[in-house]
Chain A
């Protein structure tokens, strides 16, 4: 029998051959276990909306945890990769690029404010599916959209319109508008005014203010002189808080009803009931929906369980929903390939927080309900988180959206 000589070289050759054979024979999922599904989350953690951004991250973390607890996708777990855009579009684009090129994320999600468009341009460029939450009309228009762009958040048109449809029929026919002179203020005013005019309201005066003002009192004389029934304050964040505080100070609420297109949970907590007393506005989500909507109850319970008993805010629900839809679609598609996930998202019908939702085909806008609310004051026996009273929930579906043709898409 010929003697087989084992040398170091022959041993190495055999080992290499065995390794190559093993890799080829291993099932694909075992390899993929090393690669989590990464969701890149770009939010303004620094700056005036930091608290809302943190609430959004908490919501997203819940979505990730639930997905992983359900087994993930073929054994692949999801991971949230958070980056701070500092409320700066340039920074947002830079962070989005870093997420795509360095962190190799599968999806992008989360931004609000001007970052929505900055991240969108990266998503389009790099072919990454992207789901944003910021209140915007422009993100749905044909010039900004791509097949990769989805919009979980409400549009300004919808919130402005819902507010008008609630208030104008109550006899508030003379409307004054105080709007921040930038895209958000213009879009929400436009949505409100359009619906208001359809209901035979008259716009008695329209006043534009620069963003970031600290004193709105110079606008009040003109508004008072127009004798409106209703004042629409179409701004956001600190601008809204300061404007409403000074409106209260000058006693305008005794002369006219005051409304804002978007109420923010954290802003109401900071300012207190006195500033928001009597003010009507819209939100995408309020936790008290749990009284009537089973999915809200389930979401609230899961959120409280993960985050120390605190109730989710509007931004928590947006963060949760925008990530959960992406993961649900990837599960439906069976993979994280962009083309497959896009098809799955377009077919997805979901009820994660507030009832049935789906993405409209032409612009990938999430069709959803809008909550109309007003501030609730503290009272014995009322929970600390119970700061709003739900006045109405508008669930009119696509009727409340601008048509696809109006947005620039060809008619189907």
Chain B
């Protein structure tokens, strides 16, 4: 088979679109793990909840924009409730207990969705305005995937701005380094953690509804997403938004190019990339160093 330049470019574009989904999936996890030091095994489940809530709202309203906002809001509420009622009790008790708790929470969320929506899954239609393909010069590409790349870039920018350039972001970053100082300064740390956790799960839910027109929605969809999100988070460095963005794009490109030359290694390539990077940079590409 002939590997032309336009074929390689097309594959690279596919990789970038794939990377956008990886970045969206991992962003919330990176926020939760980086800022709160919690390994959330329920992240894939919140992704799935977002897809289902969005699908249900889309069916009722016919508006994809309303569905996206609803999914984000539902993810936030679900995450905030989980943090307030469950996760909060395990702060300061190491990494294992929250991991186990969120692992169980994932099973509960999946079964609740099965009971409400059934087991067979559902589809989410691509919005009419984003259907079709665009000619990029080297080949046609679905408009929705171009939208995904652009939307992911916007979400990344907004999240970066919020974390790095706002007072609220400053509080979160300070708290992730030393929460006791925050308390001394009279800041309600528990409220900060609630908002951070909620935003992390909201981002997962947002990723879910945005991925749903491509992947559909089914109760088991969070499983593979969780693995991908963890790989990208670890690859990029815990808590680093720049790292998540770079790692997601890199992962998408590596998987896409591997698929072109050796498709049977497509799945494996993601983990081999992670292993390779960690050998040389154990904290990931852009690790955020903790002082406390």
Contact = CB atoms under 8 A, between A and B. Distances in A.
A271 interface: yes
A217 B123 contact: no
Nearest to A250: B142
Interface in B230-260: 255-256, 259-260
Given A50-B120, A205-B1, A214-B221, A221 B214 contact: no
B47 to A, nearest CB: 11
A81 interface: no
B266 interface: yes
- Interface size range on A against B: 35 or more
Contacts of A402: none
Nearest to B225: A214
Contacts of B264: 181, 208, 210
B263 interface: yes
Interface string B213-238: 01110101100110000000000000
A209 interface: yes
Interface string A218-242: 1111101110000000000010011
A309 interface: no
Interface in A191-211: 205, 207-210
B7 A225 contact: yes
Contact of B14 (A50, A51, A217): A217
Contacts of B218: 48, 238
Given A205-B1, A225-B1, A250-B133, A214 B224 contact: yes
A397 interface: no
B142 A212 contact: no
B255 A270 contact: no
B259 A226 contact: no
A249 B263 CA distance: 21
A48 B2 CA distance: 39
B120 A219 contact: no
Contact of A215 (B7, B21, B263): B21
A217 B215 CA distance: 11
B1 A51 contact: no
Contact of B267 (A47, A213, A217): A213
Contact of B215 (A50, A181, A215): A215
A201 B21 CA distance: 38
Contacts, number: 102
B266 A48 contact: no
A207 B142 CA distance: 22
Contacts of A249: 126, 142, 144-145, 214
A214 B133 contact: no
B119 interface: yes
A215 B225 CA distance: 11
B2 A238 contact: no
A218 B18 contact: yes
A252 to B, nearest CB: 11
Contacts of B215: 214-215, 242, 245
B214 A215 contact: yes
Nearest to B141: A250
Interface in B42-64: none
Contacts of B142: 249-251
Contact of B15 (A209, A218, A245, A275): A218
B119 A218 contact: no
B122 A270 contact: yes
Nearest to B261: A222
B121 interface: yes
A217 to B, nearest CB: 5
A295 interface: no
Interface string B184-213: 000000000000000000000000000100
Contacts of A208: 263-264
A335 interface: no
Contacts of B119: 46-48, 50-51
Contacts of B120: 48, 50-51, 266, 270
Interface string B5-46: 001001100110110010000000000000000000000000
A224 B260 CA distance: 12
A225 B7 CA distance: 7
B180 interface: no
Contacts of B144: 249
A209 B263 contact: yes
A246 interface: yes
17 contacts: A213-B266, A214-B211, A214-B225, A215-B18, A217-B14, A217-B18, A218-B256, A221-B139, A224-B139, A225-B2, A226-B1, A238-B121, A238-B220, A242-B216, A249-B126, A251-B133, A266-B120
Given A217-B145, A221-B260, A222-B7, 13 more contacts: A51-B119, A205-B1, A209-B263, A210-B264, A214-B224, A215-B214, A218-B15, A218-B266, A221-B139, A241-B216, A249-B144, A249-B145, A270-B121
